[in-house]
Amino acid sequence: MDSAPRSSAGRPPNGFLSALNADDFELIRPHLRTVALSQELVLVEVDDTLKRAYLPHQGIISLVVKLARGEQIQVAMIGRDSIFGTFSALGDPTALNSAVVLIPGVASTLDVDRLRAAADHSATLRATLMRHGLAVYAQIQQTVGCNASHSVESRLARCLLQTRDLAGSDKLVLTQESMAQMIGARRNSVSLVANTLQQANFIHYSRGHIALSDPDALRRAACECYATVKAQYNRLLRPRCEH
């Protein structure tokens, strides 16, 4: 692993790192390394000790709950706007869920112990970690309610829009299996709904490649959970990320 590349502002391109003041960034800067996030790479399994925090520059990390019968359901996504490892750095390092790379990319990473020590040293860094942790928690809560109450079509539209926001692209690489996991639905249901969205010219889907041809139409098809999660992230993170 090499030292993390710098953006034009002298920091890796990640929302959490951008939100830190100069002193807080300097506390963790010497410990940052860059790693590739390859698709389907498992970062941690539930009940294991999370040893490293990840701050994506590109790519998306999926937080997954595994059920006894083998089902896997996504409860949150973390991309270039945030950090995976907030709860471990703030308290118990035991992972509450599995984490796997949904969209490949690149991330800064550092030991959770180093991040915890820096947070113990700086109240402002600890507060930033708390805000990012709350944002992920808000997403988890909304996802649980969404999967229990809304249609497969509106849930898929929501997840495609969220993935687009985090990936920064209208072109996504997602299998039907991964989309089913994202919304807690059966694969055949996802196939039918994806076909419906394609016939309406909202998306173009072929062999795991999805192009969002009409994001505005997808927003109208999505449930209110997309806007709710976005508003929570804006409230908790965006005002402090702007310079």
d(CA 42, CA 97): 11
Give ranges for CATH 1.10.10.10 in the chain.
151-222
Q: Which CATH code is given to the segment(s) 151-222?
A: 1.10.10.10
- Rounded to the nearest 5 percent, the helix, strand and coil shares of the chain are 50, 25, 25
The superfamily in CATH containing domain 2-133 is Jelly Rolls (2.60.120.10)
pLDDT in tens, 129-175: 999 999 999 999 999 999 889 999 999 999 999 999 998 899 999 98
Question: Is residue 29 classed as helix, strand or coil in its secondary structure?
Answer: helix
Please say if the pLDDT value at position 37 is more than 50.
Answer: yes
In angstroms, the first-to-last Cα distance of the chain is 30
What would the mean pLDDT of 114-119 be, rounded to a whole number?
Answer: 96
What would the mean pLDDT of 102-116 be, rounded to a whole number?
Answer: 96
| Residue 90 near residue 119 (C-beta atoms within 8 A) | yes
Q: Which residues of 190-206 are buried (b: 16+ CB within 10 A; e: fewer)?
A: beebbeebbeeebbebe
What would the mean pLDDT of 225-235 be, rounded to a whole number?
Answer: 93
Our CA dihedral for 23, 24, 27, 28, rounded to 10 degrees, sits at -140
Percent of the chain at pLDDT > 70 equals 94
Picking from 7-16, 33-42, 173-182, which range would have the lowest pLDDT averaged per residue? 7-16
What is the pLDDT confidence band of residue 115, given thresholds at 50, 70 and 90?
A: very high
pLDDT in tens, 170-213: 999 998 889 998 898 888 899 999 999 999 999 998 888 999 99
Give ranges for CATH 2.60.120.10 in the chain.
2-133
